[in-house]
Chains A and B, each alone.
Chain A
Amino acid sequence: MKQLLKRHETYVLAIIIIFSLIITSINPNFLTLENMFDLLKSNAFIGILAIGVLFVLISGGIDISFAATATIAEYLTVIVCLKIGGSMIFAFLMAIFIGILLGAINGYLIDRFSIPPIITTIATMNLYYGLLIVFSKGKWLYTLPPYFRSFADIRVLTLYTKDGLPYGISIITVIWFALMVLASLLLIYTRLGRSIYAIGGDVISAQRVGIRVRFMRIFVYAFMGAMAAIAGIVQALLVQTVAPNSIVGKELNVIAAVVLGGASLAGGVGTVFGMFLGVMLLAIVQNGMTLMKIPAVWYDVFVGLVIIISVGFSSWKAKKSKVTSLIDVQEQSPQEKLSVQGGIS
């Protein structure tokens, strides 16, 4: 229990629960399976981007260019698919390839020239996005290949409302969850994953214990690129239109969601579960405001307040626990106490 109270995730979860209770008391339609499934579907896009951002933040970096990467992967893939036919699997593979390439360029530039990641990725964001606008001339793609529509309609579980309308768990939600499970396993159980925490915690120490820092950096940004690319395709599936400017501008929302979920901008800290909660907290606040009939002018005010309250509360907790850490020593388990005593004697 004590351990649980120390975790940032616990607080985010608590805030989510409190919010859900408030919203449900005003509008019972909030806590329905249908609304939850809709939320999980429409936030899959932000959520997949968030997985990539989480990796980058854990490694001690930051990426601003992922929205541009996502747009390029989405745009090029759809253009090629329209030309040659292709299939959904081909679309995902091609997008991921483009994403990895663009991400790896970020990683290489950051490591090779030691430019601060924020500057590098602001530069590549402008470069990538600018090139896309130059070559696409801002043209929108209204008609996607037919399999984009049929794939987006797939449901893994279908239920019916009392009016007989179908709803359920979308394939898009499943993709998001599968990626989160994979990312989680990678971070917790593999040498690769642990190395990301290591370089985020202290890059020099990581180098000394034999972690190949350049490889890790390129890997992290390439991974971000791959996630951005998948998110780009998911966005096309959700909206059924590809617009060169529809993703750019959402970077800060995604980064905010990941930081809300407990990842540190200083690196070395963060979990997939926390990130998921962060994404859902923002989603629920935005969803809840319409459901609670709050006038639209107040939306931004509430989003700002929620971020301050949730991040502020857990930081304040963390600060307090540092101050009281002396007391914590006495609350260790008997075994640990034994070993401490043993060390002294």
Chain B
Amino acid sequence: MQAEALLKQGEAQFRQLADTMPQLVWTADPNGQVDYYNRRHKAYDGIAHMPDGTQQWHPVLHQDDETPTRNAWMHAVRTGEIYTTSSTGLDSPTAATIGT
């Protein structure tokens, strides 16, 4: 029980830290399903919490960037490689995404 409490405390600390960052911060499970965004995601219309607990993020991207970005991300998920991409957001932000 103490371990679980420590884990929860650690997660809370991480979220607090992530929410103070000006960047959009996210985490994903080993399959590439995004399961967390920091508060910054509110600046991007189109990021949505899905009922199954995953996050929808593709509508944020510009139409031309969607496929290349998705491919780069899927490639990273398959190979475990770090990836960097740059894309044009629909509303305003132009984002450089770094996955680890």
The answer to whether A binds B is no
List A residues at the B interface (Cβ < 8 Å): none
List B residues at the A interface (Cβ < 8 Å): none
